[in-house]
């Protein structure tokens, strides 16, 4: 997907530069418009003193939600699921009963680490041979934890998988762990390990990150927010960037129809 999106951007005359951490907007190359794929906290840091106090207060009040703890595994074979259908699924959600899932998620919101967490697991090598050497497999899983948690959930996640796939633990060759801190170091948008760009409750659906008609706009001229901390929120749908681009185009008087071919959907991201 990343290659396809980059190729599309290049075909339109764009250029992608990676490997640079932006610490101030002043470090950016010369530009006409800036779409910042970052959250409110980073925006406050990068924009410095140039923002009006009211906007600073609104962004400071923005709330981040639970983080995630993630494990990547190298496996000697496929996960031996009890339910055959799970061996045909790219992603498996492990929680037992509905009540059990609700209790686990409620515990996380209360600042606790559930003994039986709700585990989201993917097993890409079942469908993509490039993901593991022949005969072996890879998989990864995460569970929610309180924001900024430093607790390792490895054993609890592996117990949950073992519960639904007896023999799983014997197939683990190696593992790599991502705590909330390591996740945030890897991607500063994951504040406290929150991969959703902030709490997504009713209040923050309407106030993402501010409660104005076009929350992509910022008080800075030609500077826009386009991350998961804008509507419609976290996920790989790309719509935050799409609507931010629409906001830019309508400001410039060149608004495209959302149904037009090649409608703008590129999201500027510097890494």
Ligand X SMILES: Cc1cc2nc3c(=O)[nH]c(=O)nc-3n(C[C@H](O)[C@H](O)[C@H](O)COP(=O)(O)OP(=O)(O)OC[C@H]3O[C@@H](n4cnc5c(N)ncnc54)[C@H](O)[C@@H]3O)c2cc1C
Q: What letter does residue 217 receive in the DSSP assignment?
A: B
Q: Does 228 bind ligand X (CB under 6 A)?
A: yes
For the record, the structure tokens of 270 come out as 């510097």
The distance of closest approach from Cβ of residue 134 to ligand X in the complex, given in angstroms and rounded to an integer, is 26
Residues 187-206 that bind ligand X (CB under 6 A): 187-189, 195-197
Contact yes or no for 153/68 (Cβ under 8 A): no
Q: Does 136 bind ligand X (CB under 6 A)?
A: no
Contact yes or no for 267/226 (Cβ under 8 A): yes
Instruction: Considering only the stretches 37-45, 130-138, 146-154, 202-210, report the one whose residues sit in contact with ligand X under the rule CB under 6 A.
Output: 37-45
Instruction: Considering only the stretches 48-56, 156-164, 165-173, 185-193, report the one whose residues sit in contact with ligand X under the rule CB under 6 A.
Output: 185-193
Instruction: Considering only the stretches 35-43, 55-63, 106-114, 204-212, report the one whose residues sit in contact with ligand X under the rule CB under 6 A.
Output: 35-43
Q: Does 70 bind ligand X (CB under 6 A)?
A: yes
User: Residues 88, 67, 47, CA angle at the centre, nearest 5°?
Assistant: 120
The distance of closest approach from Cβ of residue 92 to ligand X in the complex, given in angstroms and rounded to an integer, is 12
Residue with tokens 């593992």, as numbered in its chain: 175
Contact yes or no for 183/68 (Cβ under 8 A): yes
Compute the distance between CA of residue 33 and CA of residue 36 in angstroms, rounded to an integer: 10
Compute the distance between CA of residue 1 and CA of residue 116 in angstroms, rounded to an integer: 34
Q: Does 245 bind ligand X (CB under 6 A)?
A: no
Q: Does 123 bind ligand X (CB under 6 A)?
A: no
Q: How many residues bind ligand X (CB under 6 A)?
A: 21
Alpha helices in 146-237 (DSSP H): 154-164, 180-186, 202-206
Contact yes or no for 66/109 (Cβ under 8 A): yes
Contact yes or no for 225/38 (Cβ under 8 A): yes
Q: Choose which of 81, 123, 227, 242 interacts with ligand X (CB under 6 A).
A: 227
The distance of closest approach from Cβ of residue 228 to ligand X in the complex, given in angstroms and rounded to an integer, is 3
Q: Which C-beta is closer to ligand X: that of 78 or that of 233?
A: 233
Q: Choose which of 14, 48, 77, 235 interacts with ligand X (CB under 6 A).
A: 235
Q: Which residues bind ligand X (CB under 6 A)?
A: 21-22, 37-38, 42, 70, 142, 187-189, 195-197, 227-228, 234-236, 269-271
């Amino acid at each position: 997907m990343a290659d396809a999106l980059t190729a599309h951007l290049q075909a339109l005359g764009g250029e992608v530069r990676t490997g640079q951490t932006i610490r101030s907007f002043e470090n950016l190359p010369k530009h006409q418009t800036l779409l910042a794929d970052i959250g409110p906290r980073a925006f406050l840091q990068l924009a410095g003193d140039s923002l009006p106090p009211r906007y600073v207060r609104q962004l400071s009040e923005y709330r981040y939600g639970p983080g995630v703890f993630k494990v990547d595994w190298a496996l000697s074979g496929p996960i031996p699921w009890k339910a055959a259908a799970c061996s045909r699924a790219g992603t498996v959600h492990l929680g037992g009963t509905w009540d059990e899932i609700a209790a686990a998620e409620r515990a996380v919101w209360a600042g606790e680490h559930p003994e039986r967490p709700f585990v989201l697991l993917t097993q890409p090598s079942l469908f993509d041979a490039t993901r593991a050497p022949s005969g072996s497999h890879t998989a990864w899983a995460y569970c929610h934890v309180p924001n900024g948690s430093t607790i390792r959930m490895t054993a609890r996640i592996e117990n949950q998988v073992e519960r639904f796939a007896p023999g799983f633990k014997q197939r683990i060759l190696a593992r790599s762990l991502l705590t909330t801190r390591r996740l945030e170091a890897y991607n500063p948008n994951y504040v406290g390990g929150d991969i959703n760009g902030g709490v997504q409750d009713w209040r923050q659906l309407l106030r993402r990150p501010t409660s104005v008609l076009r929350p992509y706009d910022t008080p800075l001229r030609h500077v826009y927010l386009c991350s998961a901390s804008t509507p419609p929120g976290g996920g790989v749908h790309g719509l935050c960037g799409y609507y931010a681009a629409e906001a830019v185009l309508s400001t410039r008087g060149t608004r495209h129809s959302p149904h037009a071919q090649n409608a703008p959907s590129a999201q500027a991201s510097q890494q």
